[in-house]
C-alpha cells in the first residue's frame, strides 16, 4: 500500500475514533488516580498502625520498668463513637476516686491504642499479651453500643489476688452510654467497681477493720442516691456491698446508723414477685435483715427483735437445706466424719487389743 494511502486511512480512523480515544485516556487517568489514592490510604493506615504499635510498646516498657510501688492500670481507648471522650472520662474517674476505695494505695494509669473485638478469643489473647508486656494489674478495654442505659461496655482483665497475666480473670462492666448519664455519682461507682477488681477483698467487708468499712458504707449509701440511670446489675452490686458493709460495721463497732436503710432496701426483695424472680437474692435479703436485727438487739436487747431475726434466719436455713450443693457438702462432711471416727476406733482397738 502506498504511504499516502496509509496515512489517509490512519487520518480517517483517527478522525472517526478520536472521541473514543479521549474517553479511554480520561478513564485511564481516573483509574490511575483512584489506584494512587488507594495506595495512599493503605500507606496511611499502615503508618497509623506502626505509630500505634510503637506507642503501645513504649507505654508498656515505661510501665514495666517503673519500680515505684502501687497498682499498674492500662486503659485501651474504647471502640465506637466518642472514644476519646470515653477514655478521658474513665481515666478521670479513676484518678479522682480510686484511692478512696483502695485505702490510699498508689497507682499509675497508662493509655494504649484501641482494642477491637469485644470478648472474641483473639481480642482477649491480645489483651493478655499487652497486660504481660506492661506487667499491669488491671487492663481495660471496651466499646459504646448506642445510647442505652447499659451501652458503655467495659471489658477487662484483673490480676487481683496475686494472679499472673495468663491467669488474670476476665470481667465485664456495663455503664450508661449517654454522656449526661455519666455525671453525678457515676464516676465514683465506676471507680469502686474497678477497685473491687483490683482488690477482691472489698466484696468481703469482714476482711477489713470496721473504721475503714464505715467510710466505704457511707460512700456506697451515697451511690445508691444517684438520680441518673443506673443498670440493674450495677445497682444490685452496689446495694449488696452497702448492706454487707453496714451490717459488718454494726456488728463490730455498734454503729447502727445504716441498719434502717439495710432493712428497708432488703425488704423490697421479699415481695412475692421478687422472690419468684430471684430466689437467691431473696435468701441474701433475709440473711441481711436477720443480721441487722440481731446487731440492733445486741446494742439494746429487745426479745421481739431477736424473735424476728430468728424467723428470717430460719427461712434462710430451710432454703439452703434444699440447695443441691449444700446437700452435697453436708453429705461429704458426714462421710468425712465417719471416716475419722472409723480411724479413731481402729486406733483405740490397736492400742487396747493389738492388731
pLDDT, the chain, mean = 82
Q: Looking at the predicted structure, is the pLDDT value of residue 333 above 90? A: no
pLDDT digits (tens, 9 = 90+) for 239-267: 999 999 999 999 888 888 889 999 999 99
Among 1-10, 42-51, 129-138, name the one with the lowest average pLDDT.
Answer: 1-10
Q: Looking at the predicted structure, is the pLDDT value of residue 164 above 60? A: yes
Among 54-58, 60-64, 177-181, name the one with the lowest average pLDDT.
Answer: 54-58
What is the Cα–Cα distance from 85 to 324, expressed in whole angstroms? Answer: 48
- pLDDT value of position 340: 62
- pLDDT value of position 18: 55
The more confidently predicted of residues 292 and 322 is 292
Q: Looking at the predicted structure, is the pLDDT value of residue 346 above 90? A: no
The more confidently predicted of residues 4 and 291 is 291
Q: pLDDT tier at 56 (50, 70, 90 boundaries)?
A: confident
Average pLDDT value for residue range 137-157: 87
The more confidently predicted of residues 153 and 339 is 153
- pLDDT value of position 80: 64
- pLDDT value of position 197: 92
What is the Cα–Cα distance from 341 to 332, expressed in whole angstroms? Answer: 14
Q: Return the residue matching grid coordinates 478521658.
A: 88
Length of the chain: 355
Say what the pTM is: 0.77
CA-closest candidate to residue 80, choices 142, 122, 32: 142
Contacts of 298 (CB under 8 A, 6+ apart): 251, 254
- pLDDT value of position 351: 47
Alpha helices in the chain (DSSP H): 3-65, 83-101, 121-134, 186-198, 210-224, 232-253, 259-267, 272-277, 279-299, 303-321, 324-353
Average pLDDT value for residue range 181-199: 93
The more confidently predicted of residues 321 and 335 is 321
The more confidently predicted of residues 176 and 31 is 176
Average pLDDT value for residue range 290-312: 88
Average pLDDT value for residue range 22-40: 71
Average pLDDT value for residue range 302-331: 80
pLDDT digits (tens, 9 = 90+) for 208-225: 888 889 999 999 999 999
- pLDDT value of position 211: 86
Q: pLDDT tier at 98 (50, 70, 90 boundaries)?
A: very high
- pLDDT value of position 335: 62
Is the C-alpha dihedral spanning 216, 240, 146, 76 positive or negative? positive
Helix, strand or coil, per DSSP, at residue 355: coil
- pLDDT value of position 298: 85
- pLDDT value of position 13: 53
Q: Note whether 140 and 73 are within 8 A (CB).
A: yes
- pLDDT value of position 316: 87
pLDDT digits (tens, 9 = 90+) for 69-92: 889 999 998 876 666 788 899 999
pLDDT digits (tens, 9 = 90+) for 99-117: 999 888 899 999 888 888 8
Average pLDDT value for residue range 7-24: 57
- pLDDT value of position 85: 83
Amino acid at each position: 500500500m502506498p504511504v499516502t494511502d496509509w496515512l489517509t486511512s490512519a487520518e480517517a480512523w483517527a478522525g472517526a475514533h478520536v472521541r473514543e480515544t479521549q474517553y479511554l485516556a480520561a478513564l485511564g487517568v481516573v483509574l490511575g488516580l483512584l489506584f494512587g489514592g488507594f495506595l495512599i490510604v493503605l500507606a496511611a493506615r499502615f503508618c497509623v498502625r506502626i505509630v500505634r504499635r510503637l506507642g503501645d510498646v513504649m507505654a508498656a516498657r515505661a510501665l514495666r520498668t517503673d519500680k515505684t510501688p502501687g497498682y499498674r492500670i492500662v486503659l485501651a481507648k474504647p471502640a465506637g463513637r466518642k472514644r476519646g471522650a470515653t477514655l478521658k472520662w474513665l481515666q478521670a474517674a479513676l484518678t479522682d476516686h480510686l484511692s478512696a476505695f483502695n485505702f490510699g494505695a498508689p497507682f499509675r494509669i497508662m493509655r494504649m491504642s484501641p482494642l477491637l473485638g469485644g470478648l472474641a478469643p483473639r481480642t482477649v489473647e491480645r489483651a493478655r499479651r499487652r497486660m504481660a508486656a506492661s506487667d499491669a494489674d488491671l487492663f481495660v478495654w471496651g466499646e459504646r453500643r448506642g445510647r442505652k442505659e447499659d451501652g458503655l461496655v467495659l471489658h477487662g482483665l484483673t490480676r487481683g489476688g496475686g494472679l499472673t497475666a495468663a491467669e488474670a480473670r476476665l470481667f465485664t462492666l456495663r455503664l450508661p452510654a449517654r454522656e449526661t448519664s455519666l455525671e453525678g455519682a457515676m464516676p465514683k461507682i465506676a471507680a469502686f467497681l474497678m477497685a473491687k477488681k483490683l482488690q477482691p477483698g472489698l466484696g468481703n467487708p469482714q476482711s477489713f477493720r470496721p473504721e475503714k468499712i464505715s467510710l466505704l458504707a457511707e460512700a456506697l449509701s451515697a451511690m445508691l442516691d444517684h438520680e441518673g440511670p443506673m443498670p440493674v446489675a450495677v445497682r444490685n452490686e452496689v446495694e449488696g456491698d452497702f448492706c454487707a458493709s453496714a451490717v459488718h460495721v454494726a456488728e463490730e463497732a455498734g454503729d447502727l446508723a445504716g441498719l434502717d436503710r439495710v432493712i428497708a432496701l432488703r425488704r423490697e426483695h421479699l415481695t412475692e414477685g421478687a422472690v419468684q424472680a430471684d430466689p437467691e437474692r431473696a435468701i441474701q435479703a433475709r440473711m441481711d435483715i436477720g443480721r441487722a436485727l440481731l446487731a440492733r438487739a445486741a446494742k439494746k436487747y429487745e426479745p421481739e427483735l431477736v424473735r424476728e431475726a430468728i424467723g428470717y434466719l430460719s427461712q434462710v436455713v430451710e432454703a439452703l437445706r434444699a440447695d443441691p450443693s449444700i446437700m452435697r457438702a453436708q453429705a461429704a462432711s458426714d462421710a468425712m466424719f465417719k471416716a475419722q471416727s472409723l480411724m479413731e476406733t481402729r486406733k483405740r482397738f490397736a492400742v487396747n487389743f493389738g492388731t
